[in-house]
Amino acid sequence: MPTLGERLRKLRQERGCTLQQVSEGSGLTPSFLSRLERGIVNISVGNLRKVAAFFDVPMSYFFAEELVPHAMVVRQASEQLGDDPGPIRRCSVLPEQAHPLLAEIIALRPGAQGEEPLLRSNRALYYVLSGELTCILGGQRQRLEPGDVLYQRRYGGFSWRNEGKTEVVLLAASLQGE
């Protein structure tokens, strides 16, 4: 199981940050951060909070494997869509401990439309569970039906619309921070 320092180093490298950048964003010295990554020093809760805030992750991110079981069941997630009167209803189907993986059930009422992806991530996929969704990809109109998947390689670049008379329901998933 990786140590807190190893997790910090991995996160820093995945985000493409230098020790100096983390230092400037957290108020901790590069020397301290380097020793922390190597397991030479320990960190206080207050300072860990600063590091977590810099990376925009919960503090539990650094302990996630220790705090949660290797597998878990989330029951009745789709029932949490509720009766929001807006054009888009969504609910997360994964607990916060699943970070950085995000998965949502998204329901689009007839007439719902948007010029940006439904998830704010560089890479995401949208699996159509029911209904028909119209997307404009690179100037080309595409109709997605149940079982179809739209894979988004970078943020932006397409618009979408529910032109039908029934709700479109999607399973959307992405890795946050990419």
The DSSP code sequence of 74-94 is --SGGGGGTT--SSEEEEESS
- pLDDT tens for each residue of 6-65: 999 999 999 999 999 999 999 999 999 999 999 999 999 999 999 999 998 888 888 766
**Whether residues 63 and 84 fall in one domain:** no
- Give the number of other Cβ atoms within 10 Å of residue 156's Cβ: 10
- Domain assignment present for residue 72? The answer is no
Q: Which of 47, 67, 87 is the last residue of a domain?
A: 67
CATH number at residue 62: 1.10.260.40
Is residue 141 in a domain? yes
User: Which pLDDT value is given to residue 65?
Assistant: 60
Is 82 part of any domain?
A: yes
At residue 82, the pLDDT reads 61
Domain that holds residue 130: 77-175
pLDDT digits (tens, 9 = 90+) for 49-61: 999 999 988 888 8
Nearest-CA neighbor of 93 among 82, 79, 83? 79
Residue 58: the pLDDT is: 86
pLDDT, position 93: 84
Angstrom distance (rounded) from CA 173 to CA 73: 17
55: Cα separation from own chain's centroid: 13
Q: What is the b/e burial string over 72-100, where b = at least 16 CB atoms within 10 angstroms of the residue's CB?
A: eeeeeeeeebeeeeeeebbeebeeebbbe
| CB neighbour class for 142 (10 Å; exposed up to 12, middle 13-18, buried from 19) | middle
Q: Is residue 170 part of a domain?
A: yes
Which is it for the CA torsion 90, 145, 115, 14, positive or negative? Answer: positive
- Tally of domains in the chain: 2
Q: Check if the beta carbon of residue 134 is closer than 8 Å to that of residue 162.
A: yes
Confidence of residue 80 (pLDDT cuts 50, 70, 90): low
Tell me the pTM. 0.58
Q: Is residue 104 part of a domain?
A: yes
Q: Looking at 67, 101, 116, which one is the last position of a domain?
A: 67
Question: Quick one: CA dihedral 123, 76, 169, 83, positive or negative?
Answer: negative
